[in-house]
Structures are given as C-alpha cells and as structure tokens.
Structure 1
C-alpha cells in the first residue's frame, strides 16, 4: 500500500493526537497535513509553549488544537487515535488514565506496516548507531539503494516518498520506538540488553520486552540476528516465541545458523547449512575493541542475507572508522593520548573501553544517576586498578562510595568533582607521557549536558584547546 492511501484509510475523519512535538512529532504533523489535509489534529506536549513554537514554525492551522504543560495528557481523552513520540513515557500515559478505546500507534509501527519487508532493524542497549552506520556504508559501497532512519537522527516519515520497491531501509530502533510496536522488520538485529533507561520504564523487565519487540512480531522466513550468549536474551527467548529464523551472533552453535569469528576470518552459516568465509574480516578493521566484533558480525550477516557481495562487506569494514564519542581518539598532548567515549552511559560499555586500551592511567567517570547497578564495574576496577579515578556528579559520588566500601578498596588516586570541566583539567594535570586518559562515564549526561554528544564535545574542546 502506498503511504497516501494508508494515511487516508487510517486517519481521515479522525481526531488525531500527536503525543510529543519534538522532531518526530513535527514530521508526523507534516505527513498528516500532506496526505490528509483536513484531519483534526491535537498536539500534546509537556512544553507549555508548544502552541507558540508551532506557530513560529508552521503558522496558523484552524484544524489544530493544543494541550501544553503539566496537564498535556488531558488530550488523550479528546481524540480517536494517538501517535506517540518515542520520548514520551508509556508509564505517564497509563497514569493519565487514557481511554482504553483510543488506539495507539507510532511512526515506527506505521512505517513497518508500510515497508517491513524492506527494513533491516537494529536495536540493543549499545552498538546500534555504529552497526546501522556500518550497514549503510556496506550497502552504499555495493551500489544499493539504501536509506538510514530512526534513532540515529532522521524520523522515518521524512523519507516516506523516497522509498521505492528497490530500497533497503536501515532503521536504528530504540526501546522507546519499539515499546508499543506490534510489527517487526523482516530483518531484525538484537545486539545486547543491559540496564539502561530505568528512569523511563517501570522495571528492567519492561525495558527488555520493549527491545524484544524488534523480533517478537516477525513472520516465518524472516531473519533474527541475536546475541544469545547474553543470559538476559536467552532467557527471554526461552519464554517468548519469535517466529523468524534465529541466527546466533558471534558464537558458533552449529548446526544452528549464525555468524562468528574464527581466527582472523568471519564465518557465516546460513539457514540451509551453507558455510561462507569472509577472509580476515575480524582483523582487517579500524573499529577498536572486542565488543565491536559483535557490531561488525551483525552488519556483515545482514548484508549477506540481502545478497551483498562479500568484497563490499570486507572493503567497508576495513575502512569504517566509527562514529564520534565512541572510543574516539581526540589528541596526543605531551605524550598522553586522550580518548572520548562519552557514549558509554552504562558500566558494561566502560568495561569494554577499559579492555580495549592498555596504559590507561586516568579514567573520568560519573554524571546523572539513574539508579544503575555499578557492582560489575566496581569489581572490575578492583581487579584492574586505574591509577587515577576522577568521579563526577551524583553517579560519580555513588561509584566512589561503593568503591571505597568494597573489599580491596582503592584509596589513592580517587577524586570527587561536582564540575565536569574541573575534572578534565585535573585529568590533564595528572597525565604522564605514554599514558592514556579516557572519558568513559558509565552514566548519563543530563545533570550537566543536553546529551552525551554535548558532553563529548566539551571534552574534545578542552583537550583540543590545549597549547603545546
């Protein structure tokens, strides 16, 4: 079905509530106005200035009404259908007592209902953006018609008119985008699940179930590339049936289909028990760290399943350097190498960063405290001590206290900071030639920055501003 017909069938003569009016909400408004010019739209957002913001960007629209500020959820009982933006917590909707007769949907659900057979969906607590960017590089190198959308920055509604029958859509899917979905992409990748976004979900279990929606609604014959080596994922799969063909990620479980590294080579065993070898793919790469082998393997297998010639996969992996704020080398200053890993907002990611580099003498940790369990990180630091540990913000203070209260606690070299810039300046003072200084916070950034990108840019700005 074409988008225009879908929108007419679904939204004509309906009162449609746009719940959340950020970038995705705005693109939803534009799509509705394009395909269903006269439908009644209600815009609900916690921003009390949402109506002013709307008029500055779109002018006047007599078919639009607004609910802004603390009582924005009152709009939920004034409509026939709700299109929810990813940033709006489903828990808030339930607490608001929305009429159960009101239908819920989202851009993700609508886009998948239109184009699921052309979508490669990627989710996971960490690694999503790296994997989708590598996939996009592979398909582009092979001359395929490919579009990149989702959590990485482009709302899917912005490309509705660009999708042809030959297009492959690489879709980065966050848990927020997946939590209400009842449609899954025909190719789904689940990289990992760790504790994250506990401030958004009622429980860690709810977060896990949201992630699993990427494959839960697949059909027989679809492909589900999944890291079953993680207990949390294998436990979910033992409990909840996913009808697609399961491909294990980075572990050899023959005769089951999957992808894994064997020495320098990448091996793929397909659903027909055919074995393929991509020579030296696991070693000829610029992406650092063992954890990136999962991202590489997932991207390579997805591209293989879509018929991409192996030479393009090998070439793309060999040249792909990764994204900013992910183990990003910033500078060597007075013999000290500085790395920006601001993306690391959970302990598992920081542990992988610590395993990637030798000679780390200073580690910057902390930020916004979301109640994540830091016991694994504390245990790792006990057995793999770092000379200088600089703790920032409330999360940093909790890590500091847990480390001090642990057996074999580290007393020297542990410093507390309330200010990010002061911590970075101290890290520079502590540096010695040949050493490594790593920003890998294990915490969100919202106490001091808009997002992890802004935090990483601040770190880069300070380091690059140093004069020899």
Structure 2
C-alpha cells in the first residue's frame, strides 16, 4: 500500500485511531483525524497531532472532510452504518480498518485469535509460549497495543500474535492469518451488529481469506464454531475438554493431549492439574493455545513449562485480596452474559455478584440457573441495572429468595457486598455489560474495583492465586 502523498482520513481517535494517524504520517501521508468528541475532550491528543502535522476535526464529522480523501481508516468503535460512512461507500471510496492497514506492513507470520470470550487470556498465553520458544514475538490488537504500533517491531522470522474483535473484523479486506483461532461465539455486541447472525458472520471473517496452506483452530464443544468448519478453506484443527478429537488438543485421563494428524498418535503436553488458571473456561483457553502453538512449531515441553507458570491476566478472574476471610475477584473483562456465567461457574457457592454497566441488548435471564445454584446476592450498577433486575425478578418470588440489590455505583456495590459477605464467600465483579456508562473502559472499571477492595479495613496484600483444582471445579459446574 503506497501512502506517501495520499490524503488519508482517520475516523475515531481512540487508541487505535491515534496510533494509525501517527503511523500514516510517518509513511508520508497527508493525515486528517475526525472525531465526534469535542476539542475539550481531546485536549491531550490534539497538541500531539498538530505537532506532527496532522489536521484535527473535532465535535462532529463533516461530509466534505470525508469526500476529500483518497483513503479512510476507521477505528473499531466507529460503526459502518453512520451517515458519513454510508455516503463515502456509495461513492466507492476505499475504507479499511486499523488491522487491515497494519496487515499490509507487518513482517513475519500472524496468529490471530477471536471469540466472544477468552481472547485476551489465549492471546497472552500464545504470545508467552512463542516467546519462550525463542521466536521473535509481538503481541497486540484488541488486547491493548494497536496492531499498527507493532509493525516496526515485527520480524520476518517472527510471529505476530493478535487479539481481534468483531468490530475489527468488520473492516478487513485482505487480512490473512496463517493460524486463526475461533474460541467460541455467544451473543454479544447485538446493539452494534443488530443480530446474532450478523455477529457470527463478523467473527467468521477471521478465516475468510485463509487458503489450504493455513490453519483454523475451532472449539469442538461449541455448536456455533463447530458449524463454521464447513465454511473454511483452511486446515481445521479442534480443541475439546469433553471429547477426543481427530486432530488437535483434548483431555484424556487428566492430561492435555495433542494429535497432529488423524492417523497419528497423540502426544502428552501437560497434566490438567498443572494449569494454574481458575475455571473450566480457562482449560478451554489452554487447549486452544496448545493447538495454535504446536501448529506454530513450539515443542510440547516449552508449552508445558510456560503454561505451568502462567498467571491470570489482569481483569480476567483476577484475585484482588482477602478481606476478613472473604475473597474478592476482578473479572471486569466479563463484558457479556456468557463471560459472566463462566466467571460465576468458577466458584462452587457463596458468590456476591456485581452486575451492570452499559447494556448490549443482552438477555440476563440466562444467568438464572447459575445464580440460583451459586450466588448469595446480586448487586446491580450502571445504566443496565433496571433491565437486569427485571430479568432476575423471579429470584425474589422463590422460596429462600436471593436478594437483588440496586447499588447504582461500583463504590456502593463493593460497600454493600463487603457488609453482607461472610468468611469463605466471594465477592465477584463480573458485570456482563460494557463499562462505557460510568467508565472509560473495562480496565478503568477493574482498577477502580481493586482500589475499593484494597481500601477496605483489614484487606491483605494481593497475592498470586494458588493453582486451582480444576477437576473439582468441573464437577461443581
């Protein structure tokens, strides 16, 4: 892609938009950025952009600004159905996303991971395994570091390990990972995509450009991803915690196994008991990482050593502190119902659950069986509080009713939960919602939760989570 002298508009000045604008300018493009936020809201970014010779349009999008460009680069947070984007598409202007832009300049091979849940843990783990094998490795994407910011560090002999969201996949064109991983697909972002079918189609774009020389890793236990195999042109490998698969990773007699070919033997990789991450969903993440990194050529012993020492990623079922015998866990990244369900299922009982935030057209009734079985009380926060309460209203009508308490804010939820929880119980932030009603992002929400917990009287210092008994957790779920 030749960019020198081209007029390029970057739409949306989030983390990836800012990185894209600076990258484009370094490539010699004439860059303008356009954002709906006011100049006041962008007061930190604007001086930096102007200093680099980048023009800034704040407080709205001008149609003429959009029309006067050779190329548009969309940030993931910008929907394709905005009036301005619809108009420039009708005129045939080229539109790409930041991932597509970056893919034209990345060196080396790419391992890309998507799914409704587990993306960040699996991406981080794959990156750690590849790095431990001695291969030059960069990690980024939806995980925090924009893909375009990885281009300079990427190497011809290395791997680019990328977490990719459905928003990012909407705007790819030629992006083609040598290894694609589709962990699971459950309802999420329906407010953006409009339907589950559209969301599924966006997720499956991760393997749309693959060929027979590439690999696709799918979850054999997820009905939706299982059906995706029929639409793949690449070589399909599976992972499963419930059954033996023809080729891929599975669990046999308490050991994670990997089979490279349908007719070949299965090799042991590591015992399930050696996995330090809590919850059966993390067993699935490990299985996916085993398949992906074995396909990338990493020896089983390197995978074993790396997984055994791997700790939970921040904001993903992260142990925060023990306060008077009550354990506090931060799963702020549980931004949809399925992720919240997996978080709750990681604990046998006695959970004080904090739910709420910005609704994504979700159905919270799916949480009812787990709440009845394992939750002592629910505390609702944010814009979705009333909807969540209406979906869980049946809890108040049953014998031994489970309290559903309107807390409104995270501060009050932590205070109420800390007053009610007794030794041996757990306070869990697993919101099942995005954070954008009260926080900048899920990371800020998680940090606030951790600050509140550590400020509680008699809070002990944070310590690493001990290796969990996954078999006991599995029986409890």
Residue in structure 2 matching 1:27, options 16, 19, 22:
19
The alignment status of 1:393 with 2:382, answered yes or no, reads yes
Between the aligned partners of 1:242 and 1:117, the Cα distance in structure 2 is: 23
Which runs of structure 1 show a deviation greater than 6 angstroms over 4 or more consecutive aligned residues? 252-255
Shift of 1:317: 0.6
Aligned to 1:130: 121
3-state secondary structure, aligned to 2:302:
helix
Q: Is the 1:250–1:297 contact (alpha carbons within 8 Å) kept by the matching residues of 2?
A: yes
* Structure 2 gaps, min length 5: 459-477
- Alpha carbon RMSD of aligned pairs, Å? 2.5
Between the aligned partners of 2:201 and 2:88, the Cα distance in structure 1 is: 22
1:147-193 CA distance string (max 9 Å, x none): 11211121222232222221111111111111121322010001111
Aligned to 2:221: 229
Residue in structure 1 matching 2:35, options 38, 45, 60:
45
Residue in structure 1 matching 2:194, options 199, 202, 219:
202
Shift of 1:364: 1.6
Q: How do 1:373-452 residues align onto structure 2 when only pairs under 5 Å count?
A: 373-382=363-372, 384-405=373-394, 408=398, 411-452=401-442
Aligned to 1:105: 96
CA distance 1:254–1:91, change in 2 (3 Å): same
Aligned to 1:320: 310
* Structure 1 gaps, min length 5: 1-5
Aligned to 2:138: 147
CA distance 1:296–1:209, change in 2 (3 Å): same
Between the aligned partners of 1:288 and 1:109, the Cα distance in structure 2 is: 34
Aligned to 1:3: none
Between the aligned partners of 2:89 and 2:383, the Cα distance in structure 1 is: 39
CA distance 1:167–1:110, change in 2 (3 Å): same
The alignment status of 1:466 with 2:467, answered yes or no, reads no
1:344-391 CA distance string (max 9 Å, x none): 122212221222112324222222222201221124324x15222222
1:91-119 CA distance string (max 9 Å, x none): 22576422431011223123334448600
Between the aligned partners of 1:22 and 1:105, the Cα distance in structure 2 is: 16
Q: Is the 1:175–1:211 contact (alpha carbons within 8 Å) kept by the matching residues of 2?
A: yes
Between the aligned partners of 1:83 and 1:143, the Cα distance in structure 2 is: 34
Identify the range of structure 1 (435-444 vs 216-225) with the bigger mean alpha-carbon deviation. 435-444
1:11-68 CA distance string (max 9 Å, x none): 24432221222332232232223232xx332322212329966551144566x54433
Between the aligned partners of 1:410 and 1:451, the Cα distance in structure 2 is: 36
Q: Is the 1:403–1:409 contact (alpha carbons within 8 Å) kept by the matching residues of 2?
A: no
Between the aligned partners of 1:94 and 1:294, the Cα distance in structure 2 is: 41
CA distance 1:314–1:102, change in 2 (3 Å): same
3-state secondary structure, aligned to 2:238:
strand
Between the aligned partners of 2:408 and 2:245, the Cα distance in structure 1 is: 54
Q: Is the 2:321–2:327 contact (alpha carbons within 8 Å) kept by the matching residues of 1?
A: yes
Aligned to 2:466: none
